[in-house]
Structure 1
Amino acid sequence: MEIESDDKVIPVSKSKGKQKSLTSGSSVQVAQAIQNSDSDSDSDESEDDGPFPELFLSDEGEPNAEDSEGSQSEDSISFSDEVDDAELGSLLDSSSESDPNEDLDTFISRSTSKPNEQEPEIETFGRHSIDYMKKARTKPSEFVDGISVKVWDEIEPGYGSESSTEDAANRIGNIPAHFYDDMPHIGYDIDGKKIMRPAKGDELDKFLAGVEDPTAWTSVEDKLLHKNVQLTDEELELIHKLAKAENPDAEFDPYEPMIEFFTGKGKEMTTPLSGKPEPKRRFIPSKWEHKKVMKIVRAIRQGRIIPNKPKVEKPQFYALWSNDDQPRAPGPMYMPAPKLKLPGHVESYNPPAEYLFDDEEKKQWEEADPSDRKIDFLPSKYTNLRLVPGYENFVQERFERCLDLYLAPRMLRRRPKLDISDPSELLPKLPSPKDLRPFPSVCSIEYVHENGARVRTVSIDPTGMWVATGSEDGEIRIWECKVGRCAMKWRLCGKETTPVYAVEWCPDPTKCILAAAVGGKVVMVSPLSVLSPSQATSTIEAAHAGFSTASDTPTISDAKWSRASEKDRDTGVLIEISVPGTPKQVTWHKRGDYLASVSSESANKSVLIHQLSKHQTQSPFKRTKGTVQKVTFHPLKPHLFVATQRYVRVYDLLGQTLMKTLQPGVRWISSLDVHPMGDNVVIGSYDKRLVWHDMDLSDRPYKTLRLELSSKSHSMR
């Protein structure tokens, strides 16, 4: 083997013809390594595999074309793909004539050479590496600099992938979604930007989607993103199986054969569950069991225990005079005794001061008869429980308790079982109408307006002598109640045909005054021509007394009291009150001094209270809840009932507070009246219902009656 120095390249060849380049600068180190290997090989000549392959030197030490292509530097060495560690070992062991420095330099260069990145599957030692995972490849950059960059293959994320593609776009976490109900966005994404609320269709869009879109029923709403998400076939199949109470696992077989893991043939468990040796007591008879057995044996020998003793039939006695078909009456039923009354504060060892007796109370208790005493002991006070003495009446109380349990009979009361064959038996039996006579059954008198005008309102005089009616043609008539004669009539709106909405007699019998709501005013009239002179004089004085009385009580500017003209006064028109809006109702207080009017369209001035003696008008409400339909006064208390469309509110006029709200449960209230005692209220409605409220009970109706006729005005006079 020839080795040249002075940096002369020595080509090394193998049997396959490929050449390797080795620098002579490291030939000394290789020679030393080979010399050491020769000394080791002399000791064991059997390990020599054969002669070292020949070394072919190129002319003048110039490398071949193949060597120049594979070489990366002057100190580099390249091997073919077929060279492995075994061949290298045989190469070094068999070369007794080669330079040791050359072989060592070859080994070091091969171990420190840079791998070829163009072929990532070839590792440093030239072997094919196992491709356990995807590796990067190097390619020139697409930018101007042209620097090589590593390119990784794209990862296709699956169900078990750690990729973030499955994360929700809305990153609000566990925050409730209703926090964003009043905001234009529904949350924030991973960059902190707002996710705007998507458009959402109405019920019509949902209906059209369910009719036109065949896949609408297979989608669910994502509450986090506020959009519909299509379910997969696997999820739909899972839902169907859960709805049928089946196992959701498609591969589950409920009828698969049982596998006998521990008892099957060839699978028997031959090893014990525990290798602990059995204790000695398992092999020795028990001493205590022997004693129990001997005790039974002695009893058998002595005749106290007779095994297999034959049963002796007892004689049966029969009652000659009893009926065998009647069942025997059961024994007395157990009923628990009544419990004692629990002790109160007065029986405490340290009761409050108000439970202790003073000298006078103690004297009264001692002088009273024991049966008249509220308590059968004197309350005492102690600082602690240790100082409490024994109760002297304990035995006596226990004795009385035993007497009560022994002497006082107890019985179980049972409700009788109803034997109902016909449901009509549950209805109360009403008396025959013949037994209720006399009652009105024939129309005796009719009060008819001319030209067939429809009557809107009716009111009866407190004396029962006169009947006042108001019609749609604006005419008010006063009829004699018994004979139906028309005593007087007024047309308060002149030639205009304004309907008369309400008429109401003053409840004070000394004042024969009729209040009427017509047009935009409240008019007070009186049939002076048919009254006695004294009654006519008192009526005129009561109506005109307010014009000469000055009062400091403020009155609203929209209401104006004025005298009627001389021509109208001769016909019985006394006073005209101009009010805002069109009054639809007038009602008097029981004393006859206050009058209330209702104008539904006048907002906060829809309810006005007028005082006849002072000619003043007040508005009790700054604002009203709902549209006022009817009002009425409480007959005994300063209370005002205000009925809106669906509710009746009770106000205290003195305290200026809301006391109660009645809920009749009707659609539209038409009429309202209060009992003369003030404890019952009757409400009529346009939906043909009559509701009865008891003021002492709940705010709900006590009774509701369904009327067959149309709604009318109801009264409890």
Structure 2
Amino acid sequence: MRERKKSSAVEVSSVKKKKEKKTKDNNEPREQKEKEESQSIMKQQKNTTSRSKKEKQRKTTEDYESLRESELSGDEVHGTDHDVDNADDHHEEDQTDGSEGHRGVEESDSSEDEVAPRNTIGDVPLEWYKDEKHIGYDISGKKITKKERQDKLASFLANVDDSKSWRKIYDEYNDEEVELTKEEIRLVQRLLKGKAPHTDFDQYADYVDWFKYDDALHPLSNAPEPKRRFIPSKWESKKVVQYVRAIRKGLIKFDEPKEEEPKFYLLWGDDSSAAEKAKHLAYIPAPKPKLPGHEESYNPSLEYIPTQEELNSYQLMYEEDRPKFIPRRFTSLRSVPAYENAVKDSFERCMDLYLCPRVRKKRVNIDPETLKPKLPSRKDLKPYPVACYLEYK
């Protein structure tokens, strides 16, 4: 019995080994086939992607060449406002007719925008490199030498010969000239006119009222005012106490008063204040108006009131020589009427201040005795009679 069991176990193990070999032999060609199929699929995908990239590049180059030909033929917008307005009017037609061309241009522009700037000095003032031969450093750390600048005459002649010179802008940061595209020119023109930069933006769109208050008869909130608005804040008082303790401990220090620096001046130099005053025009204040005297009182003395004869004589005078104010007497201040010539006098004063020039005259202190003529001495007047010869009585 034991020998039979052993022989049966040997037969079963041999059968299992044969089955495993057969399955291995059958699985190996399947795995190879799957690998070959996956490799072929990957090759096809690579070929299709490379073909699509080549087609896109070909389309972009064709679109770019067509745009260049249109610019050279005269379709490009020139520097006049009329042409730019026409370009704005036909902008929608260009979008509908040449959508594919614009897509190609956008793809090429996006690739240029992704490129990092040539100069890597960062946001520093360019004055630091004013006296240097280079303007900065590139990505690899090499110096970017400055280009030779043309003189004004050569640049003027180059601008006259080049019809697109008005579209070029000098980039000081990278030391190169940048040519603006059609879309950038349209954007700049729209900004100069005060319009939105993009044509799709509606600056005066209709207002949409999102809240409907037709059925709302009562206010949204009619709650009474809370008590905390009528009571001083606890947190503010705590904060004040914290600040007081910090000041006492010396944790918070106030700004010390600044010491006045000594002012130095040139001992043997010119007076700077006088030199500075000489640069500007001398300010001459306006003469003050004459203050009212006793004759302009509401109740002057009788000597200031003119008689009827004097009033008649005023009529015979020239208008310039007549007195502008004739005094009158009133019993009280409340009975004084309004001054008739108030507006006229203020207008004439303003005209005098506006039209009459002002001159500052220096006063000279002179002894009046020096102004008298010098008399000759008596010795110089001789001979003249000295003795009394005749006397009449």
Query: Higher relative contact order at CA 8 Å, sep ≥6: structure 1 or structure 2?
Result: 2
TM-score (norm 2): 0.34
- Which is richer in helix? 2
TM-score (norm 1): 0.20
- Pair member with larger Rg: 1
